[in-house]
Amino acid sequence: MRPKLLYSTFRRNDLPAWRCPTCLNETLEIVPESFKIAETSETATCRDELWFDEEMAKGVFSCLLRCSRQACREHVALSGQVISLETFNDEMTERWYESGYRPIHFYPPLPLFQPPDKCPEEIFDMLAEISALIPAHRASAVNIMRTVLEIMLDSIGVPREKTELNKKGKKIRLTTHERICDYSAMLEPKNEAFMALKWLGNHGSHGGSKVTRSAIDDACVVIEDLIEFIFSESPDVKENIARINCAYAPK
């Protein structure tokens, strides 16, 4: 599932292809009678003012999502923000506003990632945290990504400490940058992917300008690729190769 589906504004008659957290199919639908909307206090107070325009209207919403598959029927709670969407007719001669719904919180979180069976449980749980945090807390999601990066380096066998001791006889901890650079041969051919996540993690940890949604989207794609690379089992084709060589290789 694309990361932007977790935060993209939608209309009631045009739902994103959300993935069910139980059966993993893109079959979630709104339970009609569960959909509730309320204006913010500010909108309700200002609506009768002469200067008020409908594009200023804001509100909140909540609803239940339900998997449409009879064999599943899982439920997900969704809440978020109501905004006004400017809309035009085909000729662009008429304008009006429709309500748009921006997701903020899904529970249980929607599964953004589908890691292979060999993926460690610790990483699996953190991927669920990333999915839960992306709609409302991008910086926190990036911090979890940084932790996932460190654990992936552990899984490959990249050490966290230097072999030599400091003057006090204590172990010297390697920075993430040093782990990637000093053991680059172990990370081939994914060195740039590890380093890109490290740069993003630095940005998220040190504050400053906000992490963009496009950067989050890119990071999720990179993480999924690395997880597949590290934890997916390649089929053993030795016997297939041997049979071909036996039949066709020069004797």
Question: Average per-residue pLDDT in the chain?
Answer: 90
Chain mean position to CA 180: 23
User: Looking at residue 209, what is its pLDDT?
Assistant: 60
User: Looking at residue 150, what is its pLDDT?
Assistant: 95
User: Looking at residue 26, what is its pLDDT?
Assistant: 95
Q: What is the pLDDT of residues 93-131, one digit of tens each?
A: 888 888 999 999 999 999 999 999 899 999 999 999 999
Kindly report the backbone phi and psi dihedral angles of residue 105, in degrees, each rounded to the nearest multiple of 5, phi listed first: -145, 125
Chain mean position to CA 117: 19
Is residue 36 within 8 Å of residue 63, measured between CB atoms?
yes
DSSP assignments along 38-56, one per residue: EE-HHHHHHTTSTT--GGG
54 or 26: which carries more pLDDT confidence?
26
The tokens describing 51, both together, are 């200067």
- Is 90 exceeded by the pLDDT of residue 30? yes
Nearest alpha-carbon partner for 112 in 126, 100, 128, 124? 128
User: Looking at residue 204, what is its pLDDT?
Assistant: 75
- Is 70 exceeded by the pLDDT of residue 161? yes
Nearest alpha-carbon partner for 135 in 169, 160, 179, 103? 103
* Angstrom distance (rounded) from CA 245 to CA 247: 5
User: Looking at residue 208, what is its pLDDT?
Assistant: 54
- Is 90 exceeded by the pLDDT of residue 90? no
Reported as type and span, the H/E element at residue 193 is helix 191-206
Domain range annotation of the chain = 1-111, 112-251
User: Looking at residue 121, what is its pLDDT?
Assistant: 93
User: Looking at residue 178, what is its pLDDT?
Assistant: 93
Q: Cα Rg for the chain, rounded, in angstroms?
A: 24
Mean pLDDT on 143-164: 92
User: Looking at residue 165, what is its pLDDT?
Assistant: 76
Q: What is the pLDDT of residues 55-84, one digit of tens each?
A: 888 999 999 999 999 999 999 999 999 999
Reported as type and span, the H/E element at residue 215 is helix 213-231
154 or 234: which carries more pLDDT confidence?
154
Who's near 121: CB < 8 A, 6+ residues apart? none
Mean pLDDT on 226-244: 87
Nearest alpha-carbon partner for 65 in 23, 100, 99, 98? 23
Q: Is 179 exposed, middle or buried (0-12, 13-18, 19+ CB in 10 A)?
A: buried
